Structure 1
Amino acid sequence: MKILVTGASGFIGSFIVEEALRRGFDTWAAVRGSSSKAYLQDERINFIELNLSSKAQLVEQLRGQAFDYVVHAAGVTKCLDKQDFFRINTEGTKNLVDALVEVGMPLKRLVFVSSLSIFGAIREQQPYQEIKETDTPQPNTAYGRSKLAAEQYLEQMASRVPYIIVRPTGVYGPREKDYFIMAKSIKQHSDFAVGYKRQDITFVYVKDVVQAIFLALDKGENGRKYFLSDGKVYQSETFSNLIHQELGCPWWIRIKAPIWVLRVVTFFGEYIGRLTGKVTALNNDKYNILRQRNWRCDIQPAISELGYKPEYDLERGVKETIKWYQDNKWL
């Protein structure tokens, strides 16, 4: 079977490529000319350059190919300009889908990697309840809105494209750069927590996301959407406590501040980012993400329909992640 992975040079995409190779797929990694191939060194990988910003170019680049499966993992999670979320996450998805249809790609299935963030801050009254697929999305970030718009386009194309959507919660693991900031801060003896109201957080290890993607390719029902987490709920400080433990418990200062302090920090973070032209993790989208109190989600459909069984709880996943950061001299 021949599989195409978009966003192959990225965090999740590179793990998808590795698993496809492990399973014996004829694996094609879609990259840009400027993409790093640091995690795409296996000589069995076939590379194809795709310009997701142009349907016309995609048609030419895909013509003559015959992919059985496509995993669309390309996208951005932070941008200087909010319109870039829609240009890349939404329009890029539309262009890919339209091009696949135009060239008559004989697809058995396309899996789109979306996000729990499309739902925004819902079910925020305590006791918190799991977000369910029947809930109405109310995205409170440009990122979430761009992913939702991409999902809605796939729904419009349901009669022409056999798609499945996965919606992971916070994905972490080796090679991930945003959660790494927290690990680096803790190693430098500081941790920062915001808000005094209870916060229920969910996580999913990157290898469990990949497991679910391949289960969806094999067993999923066209048009279905699956939440992904490790099946557990954590408190806001659990992640940093586990990182602290894996780093050998260095002395640290944990600063807990009210939400308005986060608002100030992210406001200036975004302003400085615009001045310098450098994307920062501390931006207006991040403010809305960090102030959200309920990240519970219902993964039972993935379990019952796909046979999804998360193999990593947070403790195991953090242990493996910190070891990778250390082995690769990130920490």
Structure 2
Amino acid sequence: MKILVTGASGFIGSFIVEEGLKRGVEVWAGVRGSSSRKFLPDERVNFVQLDFSSKARLVEQLQAFKAGNGRWDYIVHAAGVTKCLDKKEFFKVNYEGTKNFVDALTEAGMQPQKFIYLSSLSIFGPLHEQQPYTPIKESDTPAPNTEYGKSKLLAERYIIDKAAFPYIILRPTGVYGPRERDYYQMAVSIKKHVDFAVGYRPQVITFIYVKDLVKAIYLSIEKPVEGRCYFVGEPQGYDSRAFSDLIQRELGIKRVLHIKAPVWLLKVISLCAEWFSHVSGKPGTLNSDKYMIMKQRNWLCDTASIEKELGFKADYPLEAGVKETINWYKKEKWL
């Protein structure tokens, strides 16, 4: 079996590559020339550079690859951006890049047996926000309120509408684990004895440990199912304190100041942080998109379909996943 993983140098992509190697799969890591290969040290990893910004260039690259190496059996498209300075970049990378890739694969005669696209729960936006919260369902109408979510939804729709294109779309909830840097900031803050939360209405959050997401990806490859979209997450939700409390326990911090700020204050801070990012030229963790995500109260989603059709069950409840993550941060001197 031959697999291509795009975005292979990233947090999720590197774990997909590792699992493929464990399974004895011929893994090709799709990277940019400037991409770090820090988390891809294994000599068995094959590398290929792909330029998603140009369909014509992609066709050339794919045809050249095909001439020397044949076709990939499966493709996992994990490349994308979650934060950027210019919101247009979300659409350029997440939507147009995916569109270029899908079209180039078809034009170059490189269409795989199955194309696994990593989307996001964010494509649905804030639904069922009245208490008691009910899970977002696959049958709900998406109404994304972030540029990231909108770009991912456009990419989904393009893939779905592509004639005779075999796909599986996965919509993970909050993905955490070793190498991840956004939830890591929470751990850094808690180590300094401060935990910051937003909003006075209850918030219910769902998570998926990175290794469980990778498990779902390989089930998508193995099972004789295509043309489906699935939520990927633990079946239960957690209140907004659960994650930080587990981090505090694993760090052995006795006292933490839990600050709960009003939503309007988060908006002001996010806009200021976004302005500073533009001045510094570096995208930050806080921005207007992140504000919308933190403002949303209901992140429950119905995972019955992936459990029934792919036989997926998360191996890592939040407690176990946080423990392994914090241990990794400590080992790697991140904390």
Q: What is the TM-score when the length of structure 1 is the normalising length?
A: 0.98
Query: Aligned AA for 1:112?
Result: Y
- Residue 306 (structure 2) pairs with residue 324 (structure 1): no
Question: Is 2:288 the partner of 1:290?
Answer: no
**1:251, distance to aligned residue in structure 2 (A):** 2.8
Report what 1:56 is aligned to: 56
Equivalence for 1:133: 138
Q: 1:203 to 1:13 in 2, by over 3 A?
A: same
Counterparts of 2:142 and 2:260 in 1: how far apart (Å)? 30
Q: Distance in 1 between matches of 2:192 and 2:52?
A: 39
Within-5 A mapping of 1:303-322: 303-322=307-326
Cα distance in 2 for residues equivalent to 1:220 and 1:291? 39
Match of 1:69 in 2: 74
Bigger mean CA deviation after superposition, 254-263 or 288-297: 254-263
The residue aligned with 1:178 is: 182
Give the 5 Å matches for 1:10-89: 10-63=10-63, 64=66, 65-89=70-94
Deviation per CA, 1:75-94: give whole Å up to 9, x if none. Answer: 01011111000000001100
> Which amino acid in 2 is paired with 1:27?
V
Residue correspondence of structure 1 range 124-273 to structure 2 within 5 A: 124-157=129-162, 159-219=163-223, 221-273=225-277
In structure 1, stretches of 5+ residues that fail to align are none
Structure 2: how far apart are the matches of 1:99 and 1:79?
25
What SS does the aligned partner of 1:105 have? coil
Counterpart AA for 2:44: R
Q: Match of 2:88, as an amino acid?
A: Q
| Number of the residue aligned with 2:285 | 281
- Mapped to 2, the partners of 1:188 and 1:125 lie a distance apart of 34
Q: Deviations over 1:52-80 (max 9, x none)?
A: 11111111111124110000000010111
SS of the aligned residue for 1:191 comes to strand
Letter in 2 for 1:162: P
Give distance in 1, aligned partners of 2:254 and 2:278.
35
Aligned to 2:95: 90
Question: 2: CA distance between counterparts of 1:291 and 1:220?
Answer: 39
Higher deviation after alignment, 70-79 or 52-61: 52-61
Letter of the 2:31 counterpart: V
Residue type at the aligned position of 2:42: D
Task: Please list, as runs of the form range in 1=range in 2, the aligned pairs for 1:89-108 lying within 5 A after superposition.
Answer: 89-108=94-113
Aligned CA-pair RMSD: 0.8
3-state DSSP class of the match of 2:169?
A: strand
Structure 2, gaps ≥5 residues long: none
Alpha-carbon offset, residue 256 of structure 1: 1.0
Q: Is the 8 A contact 2:12 2:78 kept in 1?
A: yes
3-state secondary structure, aligned to 2:282: coil
Partner of 1:7: 7
Report sequence identity in percent. Answer: 60
Cα drift, residue 25 of structure 1: 1.0
Name the CA shift for 1:24/1:122 in 2 (closer, same or farther; >3 Å): same
Are 1:110 and 2:125 an aligned pair? no
Q: Do 1:270 and 1:284's aligned partners in 2 also have CA atoms closer than 8 Å? A: yes
Q: Which moved more, 1:113-122 or 1:20-29?
A: 20-29
Q: Which runs of 4+ in 1 moved over 3 A?
A: none
How far apart, in 1, do the equivalents of 2:272 and 2:193 lie?
23
Distance 1:315 1:166 in 2: 23
Contact residue 193 and residue 253 of structure 2 kept, 8 A: no
Structure-2 separation of matches of 1:76 and 1:123: 27
Q: When the two structures are aligned, how many residues end up with a matched partner? A: 330
1:300 is matched with 304
TM-score for the superposition, normalised by structure 2 = 0.97
SS of the residue corresponding to residue 40 of structure 2 reads coil
